[in-house]
Amino acid sequence: MQLAGQVALITGGSRGIGRATALAFAAEGADIAFCHLDDGAKADETAAEITALGRRAMHRSVDVVDTAATRRFAAEAAAALGPIDILFNNAGMNIRKKFEDYTEAEFDRIVAVHLKGMFFMAQAIYPAMVARGRGCIINVASQRALKGAVNSTPYTAVKAAIIGFTRALAWEATPQGVRVNAIAPGPVDTDLTAGMEPAFRQAFIDALPIGRFGRPEEIA
């Protein structure tokens, strides 16, 4: 019960790493607010699993690109569950194709979901953390930010930007009592990786010392 009495807000929390983290935090005593994008049935399942652990849960469909919507969700979560102690900035997406084939709209969407959504969700909860002198922000980056990857240039670039954002905010936040960190998972078995071509997926696995993709629970 390391998180007893705390409230965690998770973006992209209905499935994958977000769901696994929501359940791990709930098992440690935290109440959970999470958002998803039009994934109501799966979100209801995740919320039921959280409540089965004896914790409170709420969820909303939120496009994290919509800054006003993220602010509303953060305010609703705090009103329903209490001040946010932990933010897990996890929402993400990817479009895999050759560098020369990306459209401007695809580029803008990938950057906005990952970086804009993360930036302004953190901004929505940060002042209240500073006012209380405590809090924890965890941003999901990727090993691709450090290693690069084929057929994934916008995603890789924006994950590198997330590392820069995390480092910059940590300098401001730490003196205020708020910790800011990033995690950079390798490939994990989620819906985001399920659509990979078999040969491409196997090439990834062959390059991993552990010889397999990670599991969401391991990242949680």
Q: Active-site residue numbers?
A: 155
Angle between helices 153-173 and 117-132 (to 10 degrees): 10
In whole angstroms, how far apart are CA 123 and each of 107, 120, 130, 184, 186?
23, 5, 11, 21, 27
How far apart, in whole angstroms, are the C-alpha atoms of residue 165 and residue 146?
15
Token pair listed for 26: 């709930």
C-beta neighbour count of 1 within 10 angstroms: 8
The DSSP element (H or E) to which 59 belongs, if any, is strand 57-61
How far apart, in whole angstroms, are the C-alpha atoms of residue 25 and residue 12?
15
Work out the angle at residue 64's Cα, subtended by the Cα atoms of residues 61 and 67, and round it to the nearest 5 degrees.
Answer: 115
Token pair listed for 119: 């930036």
Backbone angles phi, psi at 62, to 5 degrees: -140, 130
Token pair listed for 200: 């491409």
178-183/31-36 β-pairing? unpaired
